[in-house]
Amino acid sequence: MITGGCFCGAVKYRIDGRLRDARSCHCSRCRKAFSAQASAYALVEPDEFSWLCGEELLTSYTSSGGFGLRFCKICGSTVCGTFRQQVHGVTLGCVDGDPEVEIGMHIYVASKAAWEKIPEGVTQFAEAPPP
Ligand SMILES: [Zn+2]
Ligand SMILES: [Zn+2]
């Protein structure tokens, strides 16, 4: 079982399954959405995800194409992503411990922030990964 939660601890979740497709997107939208140099995000099976506490403290923002983010309204941590209101993935920064998954690719590195240095040796794509 994988668990995660927000910075203040009011929001917690569990995943009875595995994370998959962990990736980091360096586009300007993800920088804003994740308040960081890039996103760090992995997909979950929606029916393996459940809230342990604090679901009522979540607020959300839906951007284009039905994708959204949910965050703790006390501390502001972005805890998960949604697609058409259903949990779609989690932010790796809010996962507890070792979820036994590694970021497999860095995408949209051509749009990275001027101040970011991408480590050598990582799998990277200038824009979207090949299908
Ligand atoms: Zn919080
Ligand atoms: Zn992005």
User: What pLDDT is stored for residue 64 in this prediction?
Assistant: 82
Rounded distance from Cα 29 to ligand 2 centre (Å): 6
State the ligand closest to the CA atom of 4: 1
For residue 37, with 0-12 CB atoms within 10 Å meaning exposed, 13-18 middle and 19 or more buried, which class applies?
middle
Distance from Cα 30 to the centre of ligand 2, integer Å: 4
Nearest residue to 9 (alpha-carbon basis) of 41, 51, 54, 71: 54
Rounded to 5 degrees, what are φ and ψ at 26? Answer: -100, 15
Q: How far apart are the CA of 49 and the centre of ligand 1, in A?
A: 18
Is residue 27 very low, low, confident or very high in pLDDT (cuts 50, 70, 90)?
very high
Note whether 14 and 2 are within 8 A (CB): yes
DSSP 129: P
Q: How far apart are CA 118 and CA 12, in angstroms?
A: 31
Which ligand gives the minimal distance to the CA of 24? 2
- pLDDT tens for 48-68 read 999 999 999 999 999 888 899
| Domain residue limits, the chain | 2-111
CATH entry 2.170.150.70 includes domain 2-111 = yes
- Ligand nearest to the Cα of 7, by number: 1
